[in-house]
Structure 1
Amino acid sequence: MVKDDPSFPPSFPEGGPLAHYRAQASFNWKTMALLLDKEEILRFKYEIWNFLATDPIFAYSPTKRSLHDERRVIMQQTFRIMEKDFLNETKGEIGDPVKVMAMTTALGQYSWSLCTKRSIFMDFFTNAVRGLAKSGYHFDILEKAYKMELTGCVAMTEIGHGTNTKAFRTKATYDTVKGVFILETPDFEAAKCWSGGLGKSTTHAFVMAQLYTPDGQCHGLHGFVVPIRDPLTFLTYPGVTIFDMGEKVGLNGLDNGVMLFDNYAIKRESLLNKTGSVSGDGIYISPFKDPNKRFGAALGNTSAARAAIITMCAANLASAVTISIRYSAVRRQFSATNASEELPVIEYQMQQWRLFPYLAAAYVIKFVGDSIYQDFVNFIMSSFNTDIDPELISNWGIEIHVLSSSGKPIGGWLARDAIQESREACGGHGYLRSAGIGVLRDDHDANVTYEGDNNVLLQQTSNWLLTIYSNPHRSELIDKMPMGTLSFLRIESVFHNLKFTGEMTPQSLLSSYKWLVYYLLQTTAEKVATQQTNGSDSFTSKNQSQVYFARTLAIAFIEHYCLDVFWNKLVQHQDAEIRTVLTKLMLLYGYWSLEKHLGTLYQGGHCNGDDGNVIREGILKLCEQLKPEAIALVDAIAPPDFVLNSALGNSDGEVYKHLRSAMMMTPRGFERDDYWKDIVEVMTMKGKL
């Protein structure tokens, strides 16, 4: 059973409504917490959380603030965090990427507006510049950004185009006479938009624009670091027009803006020229002969946000299931015949089936998000090495792009659905602001859209898969992929007659997913080929092969990747009890996901007869087996109570005490409001009638 607790992480209150379920766990939740995050990283998170809990500027408001007040408070909090300088960034040091991501999730679970604001200034802008920087001017910009002498944002999306980056229409034309680039926004549809921090609070922007040389030739998208506001007056420079986008569904502490250029001149050094440069006399120079390879290298560099979002989604998953599962262990409803007291709703199969797969997903996506982000960091570090083959960097960048382009949708949708299911599973009390789920839902919703609409991003993944599959030299292409994401496709013969074994094991699960990816590759390629045979062009053929084919292929591909990464991580753990419960989590998430593909599994002949019922019964059995572990599992992934900020999800389990306290904090909650006279007047008039 449970071993002696280490001194860290801090223990939860003894006794209370959750003690019964905590005592049932077969593993030490603290050991699990230190597996999810190494002790150094978890201590770093607690350092941040403790700082938030003790500084009055981070006190919560019991009611929703106005848009202006919310932005003002978030700006103050952002600068407070930057002044604290947990990562020594203002001293010119580049923060440990693992700690950067830890800070992102630690701050995000408190406030995603605060987290995003800080990340835009210190991570997204600086990463975008650093990844393509080559000249002293670029590194001077970076130094000033880290020292808070300037603030930066990332301006990629345009009003008329988002995910389709190649169709961006902002132009940067080199003028040989003046030795400058001229930025031009052709019309409003080409205006940069949705850039966080652009609306009110940044002096510089990383701008993606189509680079034109004086001969009129377009060399594709390139990055530029562009001054947009006077840092002393915060007025925009002549030739730059910026305005705020207004209130959103969530994340309203973040000022999103729109920006247009009108014959705006920037110095030649503003071009971030690692993938391509322009000489003083207007000649374009690039280390990449193939423009697609150059674009691939740039794509990898711009994957930072999508890679980070996966881990952010895992944090939201963790917060949502912590609230709903702790509440489920306390909330009592109904009882068995002649039972003396009602049962906690966690005892019911329906509640377990609704929530436990998302608990499993929280663990899987946490592992995978951290893995993809680390791969991205390794890619960026390697891109600085001029001795590495540019083709390798390009292939690596494309692979990172593909994984982040499918990982973000799967993480975003899982967290979205987990939050909504948690809200409903908490009943009416889950609808209260004090439950903490509504704010989480509103702030998370952006994750399914920004940095690319999820369904469109999946097309980028499926297009890549189909390109590899249709190439007659695909084995050679697969061998050139440094991350090995398609290595299992080298030996195709094993998939031809592969059948579901009827066993609920990791090996059987991964085998089924490998078959599924290969089968979907075959059928999707055939669907596209049939469309082309019938006269459709390449674009139309792929467009008409999305639903049930290419989209499903991309989802199956990333689900397999997630399970494969999780399995390779968990088998390395020495603690048998931890390994056992992680295996159950993998199986629950995996077979719960695989069950959604049952139609395809039967259609392709992988499943026969009663196999579907075997999978479904296995899912329910795994839910039952995880019930004794559930509270300890959420304890291992939960942020502290102050950060979670939920009357329903507090670690002491005293739901009704915290509900009472939250309700009694309602401003003027005990007073009659000033419109009481209006009510009396209407009632009096009605009485006279």
Structure 2
Amino acid sequence: MSDLLERANQLDFLKDFPEGPLDAYRKQATFNWKVMTLVMEAENVLKFKHKVWSTLENDPLFAPPPTKRSLLEERGAILEQVFRLQELNFLGERSGDIGDPMLTNVLNVCLGQVDWSLATRRSVTFDFFTNAVRGQAALENHFDALEAAYKMKLIGCVALTEIGHGTNTRGMKTRATYDPQQQKFILHCPDFEAAKCWAANMGKTATHAFVMAQLYTPDGDCHGLHGFVIPIRDPRTMLTYPGVTIFDMGEKIGLNGLDNGVMIFDNYAVSRESLLSKTGSITPDGRYVSAYKDPNKRFGASLGNLSAARIGIVQFCSANMFTALTIAIRYSAVRRQFGNPGELELPVIEYQMQQWRLFPYLAASYVMKFVGDQLYQNFVTFAMSQFNPDISKDELATMGIEMHVLSSTAKPITSWLARDAIQECREACGGHGYLSAAGIGKLRNDNDANCTYEGDNNVLLQQASNWLITVWSNPKRHEMRDSMPLNTLSFLANHSNGISQQTFQSQTLQDVLNPKSLLEAYKWLVQWLLQSSSEKFHSNLQSGKDSFTARNDSQVYNARTLSIAFFEHYALDRFWFGLCSQQELPQDIRQVLTNLFLLYGYWSLEKHLAILYQGGYATGPRAADLIRQAILELCGSIKGDAVALVDAVSPPDFVLNSALGKSDGMVYKNLYLAMSQTPAAFERTSDWKEISKRLKANL
């Protein structure tokens, strides 16, 4: 404890919070918030975050606008900030190599907590476009494009989604047909449904695009989706090239600092070298060549590369939860309502209902922060493995599929968690939470996109369940479990009949609060859902349904729930494994993290109670009573630590930009300042004469 505390105290940016109304709860904490900060984030990452945030706070260009900007003003301001970020050069010199992907991701989260339009636009320009190109690049000119992107000699966008197809990438209709006479690919959208859409930067500013299109050889054969890097606008005039039509998509619910667009190709000819040829290439005479003999494995390797954005969303959502919960919990510790007659009103954080509404999301945010960071590290390992000649194509394909399954379950669960957490925080702050000055409304609108982009959540869950059911049908599934580098099959029992023999064993609350009991229940749950979903699928097949319909008709109450439970278990299993692996962890920190682990776990498991009874794991009222008792007990135990828990992960006040959540806890003073600084707040309305005239007419 002393070593970590000494290190924490040496970090000058981890300053003590100002004295104020929050002191009463800060003093109740069972741990030191600065130590928790060091446990949750590496010291170099903390220093980097401080550097970014303090730099932006002292730059007038990044000052929050006093009023809402118009669409054009918002886009212009965000683009100007992106250019400034290039000048600030937080990541140092970069070239066509992968750079430091961990700090790159930290930068995106830092910027997102300031403004998600800024983070997304920077990420698309410098990361999303370059990662997509790098993941499939094989020629020197492809790496030249990366160099130009890093230096902003070009602005890129990623054109994957089409008007008629999003998550179903295999169904995309944009064609790239090779013409051996011209030695060029002809890009064409056969109809408006094939138009590329939603790509940020595309609407007004991108000069180049990473485009996924169905590759056709001159013999008419389709070789599936392949990536291309192509010019779409002349950088000197910003006009599109002949054969390319682009128009802007207009205002959205949130993220209006991004210029999302629609792009249509009309027999647009691009060079043969535009094809990103790592997974497959075209000879000058028009023959298709690939190191992957199995098209599915080639597609699996490509899927792994596309997982980066979904994993990024996991981290973005945990950051959004931290922001919203910091505001709501600090406010709840200050806001007083009701109490015994004649006594001082109670802070609303004292009420069990407020704890039950907020604390499970606080627990979820800690778990998802840990798992999201680990998944991103895994993706970096996967990305680097593609450059390792000692790793076989089969290994890469397997790892790519594993990354796809994890990202396809992590992204839905965390984006839904963040959606619900932000809304609960908004409501938990009462009427004041509806103010723009509360800092929750814009966060809610910007976060909402996470539920749909990079794949519809429910479709992603279906893709994951398809793989899980396939694994369950494999007689060698237990051998597969031990060969999975990311531990995706850790829920499998050591023997195939393990499900029927297991039941809920806990007799007391203390039994339930044993982490082993929680993990055993989840292992049973995932396996039971796998078995029942597989049986449902095969029953559909036996009734005469085709495979496609059989899978679709196995989703509700079966395969969809399977994918949700699968990732909940994976997150809990990895979090607990990580917690147990840190032998030097102070006992007070270990205890509060264990409480968070248990609270998130049982809060999630409680939603599956019907299945526990349906499958025979639980009988009688005992299981439900104990699980619910545990949730409330854990909420109560976390109450005294709640303010310190958000202090440990909160961004600075400049980033929070919330009258309700400032670290000084002076809610009413800050509310007054926010309201009174509204432009013309104390002036009569400009149309006062017209109003007066109408009033007089009604006298």
Fold match (TM-score > 0.5): yes
Q: Partners of 1:358 and 1:466 in 2: how far apart?
A: 30
Judge conservation of contact 1:200–1:255 (CA < 8 Å) in 2: yes
2:313 to 302, 309, 313: 309
Judge conservation of contact 1:307–1:404 (CA < 8 Å) in 2: yes
Superposed CA deviations along residues 438-478 of structure 1, whole A, max 9, x for unmatched, are 00000000000000111111001101101111123333444
The structure-2 alpha-carbon separation of the partners of 1:490 and 1:179, relative to structure 1 and needing over 3 Å to count, comes to farther
1:588 to 595, 599, 607: 599
How far off is 1:487 after superposition?
A: 3.6
The structure-2 alpha-carbon separation of the partners of 1:93 and 1:400, relative to structure 1 and needing over 3 Å to count, comes to closer
2:140 to 136, 139, 160: 136
- 1:619 corresponds to which letter in structure 2? I
Match of 1:35 in 2: 39
Question: Would you say 1:616 and 2:628 are equivalent positions?
Answer: yes
Judge conservation of contact 2:96–2:144 (CA < 8 Å) in 1: no
2:364 to 355, 361, 386: 361
Judge conservation of contact 1:317–1:359 (CA < 8 Å) in 2: yes
In the superposition, the TM-score normalised over structure 2's length comes to 0.97
- 1:614 corresponds to which letter in structure 2? L
Question: Would you say 1:606 and 2:617 are equivalent positions?
Answer: yes
Match of 2:255 in 1: 251
Choose 582-591 or 473-482, whichever is displaced more.
Answer: 473-482
Q: Partners of 1:160 and 1:477 in 2: how far apart?
A: 37
Match of 2:200 in 1: 196
Structure 1 residue runs without a partner (length 5+): none
Q: Partners of 2:97 and 2:212 in 1: how far apart?
A: 26
Match of 2:686 in 1: 674
How far off is 1:142 after superposition?
A: 0.7
Judge conservation of contact 1:12–1:652 (CA < 8 Å) in 2: no
Question: Would you say 1:333 and 2:337 are equivalent positions?
Answer: yes
Judge conservation of contact 1:392–1:480 (CA < 8 Å) in 2: no
Question: Would you say 1:653 and 2:662 are equivalent positions?
Answer: no
Partner of 2:219, secondary structure, is coil
Structure 2 residue runs without a partner (length 5+): 507-511
Judge conservation of contact 1:395–1:480 (CA < 8 Å) in 2: no
Map 1:427-506 → 2, pairs under 5 A: 427-489=430-492, 491=494, 492-502=496-506, 503-506=512-515
Judge conservation of contact 2:352–2:636 (CA < 8 Å) in 1: yes
- 1:627 corresponds to which letter in structure 2? K
Map 1:505-516 → 2, pairs under 5 A: 505-516=514-525
Match of 1:171 in 2: 175
How far off is 1:683 after superposition?
A: 1.1
Choose 89-98 or 542-551, whichever is displaced more.
Answer: 89-98
Superposed CA deviations along residues 547-576 of structure 1, whole A, max 9, x for unmatched, are 110100000000000001111111223211
Q: Partners of 1:392 and 1:484 in 2: how far apart?
A: 15
Match of 1:555 in 2: 564
- 2:645 corresponds to which letter in structure 1? L
Partner of 1:210, secondary structure, is strand
Partner of 2:264, secondary structure, is strand
How far off is 1:15 after superposition?
A: 1.8
Match of 2:121 in 1: 117
How far off is 1:621 after superposition?
A: 0.3
Q: Partners of 1:294 and 1:365 in 2: how far apart?
A: 30
Choose 100-109 or 2-11, whichever is displaced more.
Answer: 2-11
In the superposition, the TM-score normalised over structure 1's length comes to 0.98
The percent of aligned pairs where both chains have the same amino acid is 62
Question: Would you say 1:662 and 2:674 are equivalent positions?
Answer: yes
Question: Would you say 1:76 and 2:80 are equivalent positions?
Answer: yes
- 2:564 corresponds to which letter in structure 1? I
Partner of 1:616, secondary structure, is helix
The structure-2 alpha-carbon separation of the partners of 1:91 and 1:139, relative to structure 1 and needing over 3 Å to count, comes to closer
- 1:189 corresponds to which letter in structure 2? E
Q: Partners of 1:349 and 1:129 in 2: how far apart?
A: 51
Q: Partners of 1:501 and 1:338 in 2: how far apart?
A: 47
How far off is 1:504 after superposition?
A: 2.0
Q: Partners of 2:41 and 2:573 in 1: how far apart?
A: 19
Partner of 1:222, secondary structure, is strand
Q: Partners of 2:29 and 2:657 in 1: how far apart?
A: 25
Q: Partners of 1:368 and 1:213 in 2: how far apart?
A: 42
Partner of 1:109, secondary structure, is helix
Map 1:2-17 → 2, pairs under 5 A: 6-8=9-11, 9-17=13-21
Map 1:622-637 → 2, pairs under 5 A: 622-637=634-649
Number of aligned residue pairs: give it.
686
Partner of 1:380, secondary structure, is helix
Superposed CA deviations along residues 265-318 of structure 1, whole A, max 9, x for unmatched, are 111111111100000010100011110000000000111100100000000010
How far off is 1:685 after superposition?
A: 1.3
RMSD after superposition: 1.3
1:262 to 254, 263, 266: 266
